[in-house]
Amino acid sequence: MIKITVLGSCVSRISLLDGKQSEHGVLDERLDIDYFLDKQNIVCAMYPAPFPKEEVENLKDICIREKGAIRSLKQNLNKETLSLLLDSDAEYVVIDFMDMHMNQCRYHDTIFAPQANEFFRTNLDEKYGSEITKFRIYDQPWDEWIGYVDDFFKKMMEKYDSNHVILNCFRCNSYYMTKEGTVEYIPERFRGSSHPLPRFNEVGRKLEQYVIDKYNPWVIDLSKYFMGDFNIWDNLQGAHFEREFYRETFDQIRRIIFGQTAERNFSKTQFFNPDRRGYKEDLLLPFDIEKGLKNVDMFYKQNDLLWVNILDKLHMHAPDDKRVINIMNRERDKIVEYI
């Protein structure tokens, strides 16, 4: 059995579950998760611990919602991210940078990750909260924090060479599919301090490219094609995607680990392929053809790759519609770039 450590978020963890949020581990008996290092910001990880370890170990959650989140919070506060990664006997690390979008905390001369705001429901916040300020790393000048990214990766790469690190690129989505089959903008109530924000996509892409150029990991770059989906997520925050994203990401992770591909930077989709694993399942979901036709035009003009996704759905649900055929013929050369 091959072990994997996930350093990131649900973007990668749910990919290893083929999109099934309620499951645990990896949905492949040949693979197992050693650690899931959840929302452990790699810049924060290189700063000193903010509080005495004894206080962190005695941390009390005022309203416990998820024990796993408290465990991750303690790891963040004790700055154990790098040591756990280096002590792991996993052969591969799957990493994403979703956490870089989120609010972090500044306390005196150090910073720490609050684990999606779990920190603010603890007795430590009651004690130290007046001395803590929130900020987003992506709002800070690049030169102020990129050195910590290098420090983290240099340490990590002492254990894992580039052939054993898989970067799962993250693009915060702005739209979602309704249960009625229309595409809508994600409501602002899902844009809180513990959520990623679309406005950070540009600097997020810059960071990913920096890491790719300097450390040469395997790259899976699929999230840019996908939106949220109210059919499978109640929480539409921009790190939750359609199930097809997770299926395709999982397939590529397995190809990499089991030596079935030599393609270092993978950004092709299974769109327009009726033989893909989830095709029949997705065909059962409702889709509004008329609004879909308008969406293709809108996203195309915005240079948003969701146009390929919407056209795939149109082709799936209305393959004989002359308007769909015309778009397919007109954009055939461009479509080939993405499949």
| Judgement on whether residues 83 and 143 belong to the same structural domain of the protein | yes
| Judgement on whether residues 261 and 294 belong to the same structural domain of the protein | no
Domain count, the chain: 2
Q: What is the pLDDT of residue 192?
A: 82
| Judgement on whether residues 292 and 306 belong to the same structural domain of the protein | yes
Q: Which stretches of the chain are DSSP H helices?
A: 10-13, 53-57, 67-77, 81-87, 123-128, 142-156, 201-215, 243-257, 279-283, 289-301, 306-317, 322-330, 332-338
Q: Which of 213, 246, 267 is the last residue of a domain?
A: 267
Q: What is the pLDDT of residue 63?
A: 62
Domain span holding position 289: 271-339
Q: Which of 210, 234, 267 is the last residue of a domain?
A: 267
Structure tokens at 112: 């720490």
Residue 126 half-sphere exposure, CB side, CA atoms within 13 Å? 8
What's the rounded Cα separation, in Å, for the pair 93 and 218?
A: 10
Q: What is the pLDDT of residue 154?
A: 97
| Judgement on whether residues 334 and 233 belong to the same structural domain of the protein | no
| Judgement on whether residues 148 and 195 belong to the same structural domain of the protein | yes
Q: Contact 86/159 with Cβ under 8 angstroms?
A: yes
220: closest CA among 250, 194, 181? 250
Handedness of CA 66, 68, 69, 75 (dihedral sign): positive
Look up the pTM and report it.
0.95
Structure tokens at 4: 């994997």
Secondary structure (H, E, C), 71-126: HHHHHHHCCCHHHHHHHCCCCEEEECCHHHHCEEEEECCEEECCCCCHHHHEHHHH
What's the rounded Cα separation, in Å, for the pair 99 and 39?
A: 5
| Judgement on whether residues 221 and 290 belong to the same structural domain of the protein | no
| Judgement on whether residues 169 and 313 belong to the same structural domain of the protein | no
Q: What is the pLDDT of residue 62?
A: 63
Residue 124 half-sphere exposure, CB side, CA atoms within 13 Å? 24
Q: Which of 251, 267, 283 is the last residue of a domain?
A: 267
Q: Is 219 helix (H, G, I), strand (E, B) or coil?
A: strand
Tens-level pLDDT at each residue, the chain (339 residues): 999 999 999 999 999 999 998 888 899 999 999 999 988 899 999 999 999 999 999 888 766 566 778 889 999 999 999 999 999 999 999 999 999 999 999 999 999 999 888 899 899 999 999 999 999 999 999 999 999 999 999 999 999 999 999 999 999 999 999 999 999 999 988 888 889 999 999 999 999 999 999 999 999 999 999 999 999 999 899 999 999 999 999 999 999 999 999 999 999 999 999 999 999 999 999 999 999 999 999 999 999 999 999 999 999 999 999 999 999 999 999 999 999
What's the rounded Cα separation, in Å, for the pair 111 and 64?
A: 24
| Judgement on whether residues 283 and 154 belong to the same structural domain of the protein | no
Q: Is 178 helix (H, G, I), strand (E, B) or coil?
A: coil
What's 119's domain CATH number? 3.40.50
Q: Which residues contact 54 (CB under 8 A, 6 or more apart)?
A: none
What's the rounded Cα separation, in Å, for the pair 99 and 138?
A: 10
